[in-house]
Amino acid sequence: MIGILDFGSAGNVRSVANAFARAGARTGIVKTYDADRSGLGGLVVPGVGSFSVVPGMVSALGGRGAAGKIGVPVLCICLGMQSMLESSEESDEASGLGIVRGKVKRIRGSVRLPQLGWNQVALAKKDPLFDGVANNEYFYFANSYAAFPQDGATVLATTKYGQRFASAVRKGNWWGVQFHPEKSGKAGQRLIGNFAEICSKGW
């Protein structure tokens, strides 16, 4: 079973659960994650809103130290992906998980914020999360801030809106996508199915 974390400010938990159900995956909504007791084969960390709520997400995962020891595949969506980094310009007081070194920054350029709508995702490398997804496929975004990892090796895909930013990252068993796969039609459904398969096989 894949757990979907509802830490109180996720917002899009139900739509994510429905998308996984369409992919044939069995899911359960969890308020906290305990690696020793969960019995889960994977974990999804969705989130919408401000980076200021990220400490609640970190706490629900057991804190930064415990989160880094989670041994099952983890998919972080939108604010969830931003939480994988160390910090954000949006909230100086809030710290992220630090799974990926780097900072979340406000999107710069002559564009309207937030970015709301479809945009292309340029694949930087092959990864099972994107199996069967075409390069430069369109996904649905809703963001004013974006991730800028220090290590380019963690970047799976990029998107340009005002400036080019990381729209998908991976570090070990942690994946993050800035876009909303649950709102992204066939391509998003394929990505969700890919993650469910990763969970079933073990990463």
pLDDT in tens, 14-67: 999 999 999 999 999 999 988 666 789 999 999 888 999 999 999 999 998 888
Q: Kindly state the average pLDDT of the residues 182-197.
A: 98
Instruction: Out of 90, 137, 180, 199, pick the active-site residue.
Output: 180
**What integer pLDDT is reported at residue 33 of this predicted model?**
87
What digits encode the pLDDT tens for the residues 113-158?
999 999 999 999 999 999 999 999 999 999 999 999 999 999 999 9
Categorize the per-residue pLDDT at 183 as very low, low, confident or very high, splitting at 50, 70 and 90: very high
Torsion of CA 196, 178, 127, 124, to 10 degrees: 170
Which of the residues 78, 90, 137, 199 is marked catalytic?
78
Largest separation between any pair of C-alpha atoms in the chain? 48
Active site includes 197? Answer: no
Does the active-site annotation cover 89? Answer: no
Contacts (Cβ under 8 Å, ≥6 apart) of 69: 35
Q: Which one from 76, 90, 137, 182 is the annotated catalytic residue?
A: 182
As a whole number of angstroms, the distance between CA 13 and CA 49 comes to: 13
| 8-state DSSP, 194 | H
* Third-level CATH fold of 2-201: Rossmann fold (3.40.50)
Question: In 3D, which of 156, 3, 127 has the Cα closest to residue 74?
Answer: 3
- Chain mean pLDDT for the chain: 94
Catalytic annotation present for 182: yes
Q: Give 193's pLDDT tier (boundaries 50, 70, 90).
A: very high
* 202 has a pLDDT exceeding 80: no
Distance of alpha carbon 123 from its chain centroid, rounded? 16
